[in-house]
Chains A and B, each alone.
Chain A
């Protein structure tokens, strides 16, 4: 907008403005290049045949960009079809469960004053301070005791249980939903369940979308706990299935890169489709502090 105005006034720039524009575009292009080059090099390598990979420099473009052999090989080798299925199952259940749990908890904490309200809020806040990796030392023990290790449902339940950020997004959003809506519904004789189900939940829709995207990306990319609890070959999620490339392939990076590209394709598609929601989700997650 600022630039637009300047244009309208006159088409001349002061030297300062010109330097500023040069610096600006130089930094943007440079850091975009830095951000993109590791991924681009992977894409280039993923399209190379074995012979090309051995003989050409990594940054030389491949002969053809329609050679999908590596992708097919990588896909089969890491059992990625099954892994995609597992990831989708985990994601669907975790998202549904965390939306239900999160919105219900936010509704109660925001609308009702009862002894322990503040305590529960603080319990969740405190939980967000505990680093997940440290907690796994003993969560592992509990997962074993419950018989949750090596079962998809066990992993799903655990992933629902360690969800703090989406609860915060819901609580924040609830604060902007006018309480007079609840009151008029009560006068009309609606039960609390009806208020939650028919009024609050539909109004929370933007927050639900935001938290689903953030949580979905998080679940899709989670590998540490998945690695610990889903050791069976048939239970691996997509992030963990990539790990199968470590041993046998050594440095056959054309295959590994193909696997990497396959694994990040869904994230890329979601990103292109939902850029706005992702950005606003990042901003919403930040305000919690």
Chain B
């Protein structure tokens, strides 16, 4: 009958029909987010690819822009500052891996219930909520000669005169910056892992406890298998994250003394020397690397994990899965009732 009504009243009728309403609501609800997404993500993205073939400034009028072909891309690899900056991401990668291990360790410790857990968790998580500029000031202060870090080390018996300049000495300053990033994010990673560990059925731990498994065995046989997906994901994310490391050098050293990471250099080229074409080329190169990592990640998950999980599913994991399914079914029943 709706169809008939629509036929009689033309467009107005169609709008009032179910189908018309559906279209209306789809268009109405999707339009704004899509326009925003296009104008602040995809149009800039296309522009970026286009700009990367030109020599231009932000202020250059469209007809004065000089087409230079692949020269910007060649420059990215030829210029010493651009390419050597990529090497710095190895520091951040190292830091990120350390951070993951540390977060996993602390998350495991905290997943066994005990007094004071929440307080410790809060202390370790809070740095994540501090804004980047404040973190910058805190650590400029922290690392200044004779200030906080040196004082703490001298409490531990180090001789203050033998300590390096944490932010100036090129042998150590990148590690100092990496440490600030670890400081800021390890608590967040930890909370994430705690969430994953908590989603494991707690009866599994109790069963293991009764069977006489110690903490280490519990970790290896229960915790690790159940959270390996999220751990792997975070390892891969930390690789792309360290390629785009930006904040610590930007706010603490402004990229001086050989601490300029790829993005710090790119930011300077774009907004200080206004070589927009070159900066765009740098961005595109990095995006390509990130895509490559993401595709590898997808493939990795597809081939490694699927096989491992279907064939190798241990008895315990299976039990956990079945129980989780049952619980979900129960919860659904409750939801319906």
Residues of A within 8 A of B308 (CB): none
The reply to whether A142 and B30 contact each other, CB–CB distance below 8 Å, is no
Interface of B is mostly: helix
The reply to whether A192 and B109 contact each other, CB–CB distance below 8 Å, is no
Min CB distance B133 to A, Å, is 5
Say whether B181 faces chain A, with CB atoms less than 8 Å apart: no
Known: A34-B183, A178-B336, A257-B141. A129 touches B43 (CB 8 A): no
Given B25, B37, B132, which contacts A123 in the complex, CB threshold below 8 Å?
B37
Residues of B within 8 A of A76 (CB): none
Task: Give A28's nearest chain B residue, CB to CB.
Answer: B120
Say whether A36 faces chain B, with CB atoms less than 8 Å apart: yes
The reply to whether A264 and B192 contact each other, CB–CB distance below 8 Å, is no
Known: A32-B120, A161-B39. A114 touches B129 (CB 8 A): no
B 242-266 binary contact with A (CB < 8 Å = 1; else 0): 0010100010000000000001001
Say whether B310 faces chain A, with CB atoms less than 8 Å apart: no
For B26, B58, B105, the residue with the greatest tally of chain A CB atoms inside 10 Å of its CB is B26
Interface size class of B (residues with CB under 8 A): 35 or more
Say whether A71 faces chain B, with CB atoms less than 8 Å apart: no
Residues of A within 8 A of B246 (CB): 133, 224
Say whether A172 faces chain B, with CB atoms less than 8 Å apart: no
B 1-35 binary contact with A (CB < 8 Å = 1; else 0): 00000000000000000000110011011101110
Residues of B within 8 A of A141 (CB): 44, 47, 58, 276
The reply to whether B263 and A253 contact each other, CB–CB distance below 8 Å, is no
Residues of A within 8 A of B225 (CB): none
The reply to whether B30 and A105 contact each other, CB–CB distance below 8 Å, is yes
Say whether A199 faces chain B, with CB atoms less than 8 Å apart: no
Say whether A263 faces chain B, with CB atoms less than 8 Å apart: yes
A 42-81 binary contact with B (CB < 8 Å = 1; else 0): 1001000000000001110000000000000000000000
Interface of A is mostly: helix
Min CB distance B1 to A, Å, is 14
Given A29, A253, A286, which contacts B195 in the complex, CB threshold below 8 Å?
A286
What are 18 contact pairs spanning A and B, CB under 8 A? A1-B202, A27-B105, A32-B120, A32-B124, A37-B152, A38-B148, A58-B146, A104-B33, A108-B30, A112-B22, A124-B37, A131-B287, A137-B276, A141-B276, A144-B58, A253-B141, A282-B195, A286-B196
Which are the 8 A-B pairs with shortest beta-carbon distances?
A283-B195, A161-B36, A221-B131, A161-B40, A104-B29, A134-B283, A138-B44, A32-B123
Which A residues have a C-beta under 8 Å from some C-beta of B?
A: 1-5, 16, 20, 24, 27-29, 31-32, 34-39, 41-42, 45, 57-59, 101-102, 104-105, 107-109, 112, 114, 120, 123-124, 127, 129-131, 133-142, 144, 157-158, 160-162, 167, 178, 180, 191-193, 196, 217, 220-224, 228, 238-240, 242-243, 245, 251, 253, 256-257, 259-260, 263-264, 267-268, 270-271, 275, 278-280, 282-283, 286, 289
Which B residues have a C-beta under 8 Å from some C-beta of A?
A: 21-22, 25-26, 28-30, 32-34, 36-37, 39-45, 47-48, 51, 58, 102, 105-106, 109-110, 112-114, 116, 118-120, 122-127, 129-134, 137-139, 141-142, 144, 146-148, 151-152, 183, 186-188, 191-192, 194-196, 202, 205-206, 209, 214-215, 230, 233, 237, 240, 244, 246, 250, 263, 266-267, 270-271, 276, 279-280, 283, 286-287, 290-291, 294, 332, 335-336
